[in-house]
Structure 1
Amino acid sequence: MSLFYSLTDHLDFHAQVRGDTLLASDDKKSLNFAEAKRRVDRIAGAMEASGLGAGDRVGILAKNSVDNLCTFLACARLGVVAVGLNYRLTQPEVEFIASDAEIKHLFFDAEFDGLRGDYLRAQPGVCYDGADRTPNFDKWIEQGEPVIDSRAGGDDVLFQMYTSGTTGLPKGVLITHRNVLLVTYQGPMTTGKGHRVGEKGLVVAPLFHAVGLVGALMGVIYGGTMIIQRDYDPVGMIDTLEKEQINTTAVIPVMLQFSIICVPDIAERDFSNLHTINYGASPIAEDLLRQCMDIFKCDFIQGYGQTEATLALTFLTADDHRAALNDKPQLLRSCGRAVFGTEIRIVDEHGHTLPTGEIGEIVASGPQLMKGYWKRDDATAKTIVDGWLHTGDAGRMDDEGYVYIQDRVKDMIISGGENIYPAELENVLMSHPAIQDAAVIGVSDEQWGEVPFAVLVSAGQQELTAEDLVEFCRDKLAGYKIPRQLAYVEALPRNPTGKILKKDLREQFRDRMKNTA
């Protein structure tokens, strides 16, 4: 049998050799590896008794829990494809994904019953926390005979995860067993950091997102213990890190930002067992990163990737972070170098590799790339060309192989023939003490074609005027890059991964876009 075959082979191995080791715990349930295997086998048996088989799609509309994770593992054992549904979406958005994926069975929390539209209500449903009108999960799993052996693996699809849809309708990304097993090998090879048997990892990012799901699967694969937080709570995350003496966790930067704001005594907390915080999914402000490193006193690792790459394409390692604090501060603006077994190039619009330092689209090749998009061969062909994933991100690479993301290619602003990457502007704006959060979008202009428009969140001080902003940016940005229009909002719209929804901002401020000619 190939080493990189079935995800649940790892569960079976750990259940046999270290069955008493705690695998996962939430606020209601704790299972060691032996208990988890028995529960997963029984859930898989109930799925089979319900008529589900290899290739069928099952939806999971629920917050993080031990049973959520066990349902996913049961799907993996049987060859059923799990589709995590984002409970923060609207009912029409959930319905679109459910119907597009052709979900045949739904597992859900009672609180999300209202997100089930006509399509999902027409499918069999099992409620984790016991709605009267649906089968209770604990009763439901008693039907059928346990499935004790893996029925799928290798290049079979393990899960179908939908893109965030920041620029269009979400697409179902097909990720295989091999993709996940290889990416969990690439990480430790690249960073020198990996899960160890019995080591505690905090799962706080949602399991419908790669950061949460692959983070939890690290425990299954390497024999670690996963402390599962039902949902992100800025105070609860810090309390759990301290109380459980967590060793490692994976977050998105906005989680760290809110926790620091909401926990006044965070600097006095005991995080002595915490050795690594992994972060990614969106950039982190340099000031926030330095503040977090001072508070948690642990290693930080940044990962850059996207759903189509399972998890990561590059890592900025703990050694890189230390070098940045010593004599290479520019590295804090980098997302690191290519992970083990992966090649990164910067290309122009014709796919030609650009010289070192020039900005173009980031493309990548490696074993973690998706199998394709669900029933979207046209989109797959446009995204993966000759084995290279076209990320849609604009960036540059230095002569040591460090990648610097500038922005999404589609978010680039062209003003008077000059390319402007909003991320560069946002980084400057975020360094102002009166600005808590910032986004820059392009707005139409008769003279220049487009000009940058700043959308700001106040840090609680007096709001800046456009003139204040221009003066602040004058010695930090070229004149054509400086936003000369601005607006304030209470909070920027973000998707669950922390990415700013710029299409929403463009729609919101469409009528306020003034000609600056």
Structure 2
Amino acid sequence: MRAPSSFKAASKAIAEPLAALSVLFRRGVVEPHHPIELIRTVHDSGIYGPFVTVLRHARRTRPGSNALIDERGTLTFEQLDAQSDALARGLAASGLAPGTVAALLCRDHRGMMLSLLAAGKLGVRIVLMNTGFGGPQLAAVAEREQVGAILLDEEFLGLLGDVPESVPRFLTWTDDPDLASGPIATVDALVEAHPTGALAAPERPGGIVILTSGTTGTPKGAPRDKVSPLQSAQFLDRIPLPRDSVMIMAAPTFHGTGLSQLTLGWALGNAIVCRQRKFDAEGTLADIAKHGAAALVLVPTMLQRIVDLGEEVLSRHDTSSLRVVFAAGSSLSPDLSRRTEQVFGEVLYNLYASTEVAVAAVATPEDMRCAPGTVGRPPVGCRVAIYDEQRRVVTEPGVIGAIFVSSGLSFSGYTDGRHKEIVDGLLCSGDLGHFDSAGRLFIDGREDDMIVSGGENVYPLEVENLLVDRPDVLEAAVVAVDDRDFGKRLRAFVVQAADAPGDAQEIMTYVKTHLARHKVPREVIFLEELPRNATGKLLRRELEQLDVG
């Protein structure tokens, strides 16, 4: 007898939270012998959101432990809590009130963390701006999101030309003594001028808006107003993030990867190191060695730059303390996976996620060793399905279709009212992919990136992965250009290793010997670097519009 669908739904509604709770117990995030603390944490999450909640938890359980290490030194959880209280009072005195929307445009440092915490304590809504923005993009997003205040680093003041002067400015970081004592209030000055001590809780969480990558236009806003503490189990289910240790945060915190791992790192009692205003590959290795870091969080392009340093540079730094290299944000090639293992051992974990669907799948070192190129399997609380063009579920291994995801962290719609397609309760990721016979997920490319050449479908990622397998190719990108006979043809852009011969014909012949004829680029263009945004995503539109003469 088949169980009624309502019974199945009820069983699932009970089973999934219990499975997530089991993961949190196992990883030590939830301690059953401290039930009062568990109640406090659940209570806080409904008022402040996850970022402030984990700080308050850490402040109660390990107040003197190091929380943040940046260019100016170290802050404990107790100091972060106290200083963010003072900053919240200063921002409130400057006119920020519950419901205010504030833009945050800065690098990773204490000014950013204090601003996020103070906003959460006030019930102020934060829009995380991309540090790669130009002035017009910043102004457009600020207008759409109805920004009422901007907190930013000194280096970005020049981008405010198109933002109305009536929008208050606050400096999160400056090394200029004249600016520090000037008319624009600074985080440092507000902290110093106002008392510490607990504030009254806001009526509701202010929430955070994370922006999409914006590789094809103005970034859209994806709100994260409320997140269940149980959802952190999605990361911990398959990734052994350390506890009471040190995490190097190379990924930018303004994006989902950095923000989620910073939050989770604090929940596990870790000190977060973000000493570099801009990513430096060898500097990251030095930080790992200096602090004996157990985890490194970064995007694949950063990882590529590290392994490209070469044996002589890599051998200068002791990275044996690393237990987890957490990579997310863009595709990770099989070649990069193999080279990472050669440098660091079996410590690489690849997260497949997006701003909209959040967590979808995790690939462990074992997954990538057995099936190079996979993004792994869905963790607890997540479900992934492949659909064909008629939106019928694809069950056959190897068949490519649209990827749809169900996750408790998935967003509820863009801030401009638009949404992504939903089928059977699952949200469209915008990617194409397939499962193998073992149930591991592979990404074949973006739906928008698929090229139809001479009536045949071409997925650029397949060609790109083949090219970067070559020792003389560091990076590769394949785009479509107009063709009179085939409608579209392929053009490959290649970044070569030092002293490579640069033989375009040889590269095209190489592709022809490995892939079908319609997947062979008709031309190869050599570049010094590929255009990418601040989170490492490839800007294909810039390549498509590039005048190659």
Fold in common (TM above 0.5): yes
The reply on whether 1:140 has 2:180 as its aligned counterpart is no
Pick from 378, 387, 394 the counterpart of residue 432 of structure 2: 394
The reply on whether 1:151 has 2:202 as its aligned counterpart is yes
Give the SS at the match of 1:116: helix
Pick from 332, 337, 340 the counterpart of residue 284 of structure 1: 332
Contact 2:357 2:406 in 1 (8 A): no
Offset at residue 116 of structure 1 (A): 1.3
Give the SS at the match of 2:356: helix
d(CA) in 1 for partners of 2:112, 2:56: 18
Amino acid aligned to 1:174: P
Q: Following superposition of structure 1 onto structure 2, how do residues 221-370 of structure 1 map, counting pairs within 5 Å?
A: 221-229=267-275, 230-262=277-309, 264-310=312-358, 312-321=359-368, 324=369, 328=370, 331-356=371-396, 357-370=398-411
d(CA) in 1 for partners of 2:165, 2:258: 27
Pick from 201, 205, 221 the counterpart of residue 247 of structure 2: 201
Offset at residue 171 of structure 1 (A): 0.5
Offset at residue 236 of structure 1 (A): 1.1
Query: For residue 263 of structure 2, what is the aligned residue in structure 1?
Result: 217
Question: How many residues in Structure 1 have an aligned counterpart in Structure 2?
Answer: 495
Give the SS at the match of 2:297: strand
Query: For residue 412 of structure 1, what is the aligned residue in structure 2?
Result: 450
d(CA) in 1 for partners of 2:496, 2:188: 48
Give structure 2 stretches of 5+ with no counterpart.
Answer: 1-38
Offset at residue 146 of structure 1 (A): 5.2
1:390–1:170 distance in 2 versus 1, CA, 3 Å: same
Query: For residue 515 of structure 1, what is the aligned residue in structure 2?
Result: none
Offset at residue 136 of structure 1 (A): 2.8
Contact 1:91 1:116 in 2 (8 A): yes
Contact 2:502 2:526 in 1 (8 A): no
d(CA) in 2 for partners of 1:436, 1:73: 40
Offset at residue 337 of structure 1 (A): 0.7
d(CA) in 2 for partners of 1:296, 1:120: 49
d(CA) in 1 for partners of 2:198, 2:164: 26
Query: For residue 436 of structure 1, what is the aligned residue in structure 2?
Result: 474
Give the SS at the match of 1:508: coil
Offset at residue 266 of structure 1 (A): 0.6
Contact 2:241 2:295 in 1 (8 A): no
Contact 2:367 2:374 in 1 (8 A): no
1:39-94, CA deviations, whole angstroms, 9 ceiling, x for partnerless residues?
Answer: 12222222222332333211112111022112112212222111222222211112
Contact 2:68 2:272 in 1 (8 A): yes
d(CA) in 2 for partners of 1:123, 1:308: 29
Contact 2:66 2:76 in 1 (8 A): yes
Amino acid aligned to 1:355: T
d(CA) in 2 for partners of 1:411, 1:157: 36
1:157–1:185 distance in 2 versus 1, CA, 3 Å: farther
1:114-154, CA deviations, whole angstroms, 9 ceiling, x for partnerless residues?
Answer: 1112315431111132622312322223348855354266x
Identity score, percent: 28
Query: For residue 216 of structure 2, what is the aligned residue in structure 1?
Result: 167
d(CA) in 2 for partners of 1:473, 1:400: 28
Amino acid aligned to 1:347: Y
Between 121-130 and 244-253, report the one with greater CA deviation: 121-130
d(CA) in 2 for partners of 1:372, 1:157: 17
Amino acid aligned to 1:81: R
Contact 1:274 1:298 in 2 (8 A): no
Contact 2:481 2:490 in 1 (8 A): yes
d(CA) in 1 for partners of 2:423, 2:122: 32
TM-score (norm 1): 0.90
Contact 1:474 1:482 in 2 (8 A): yes
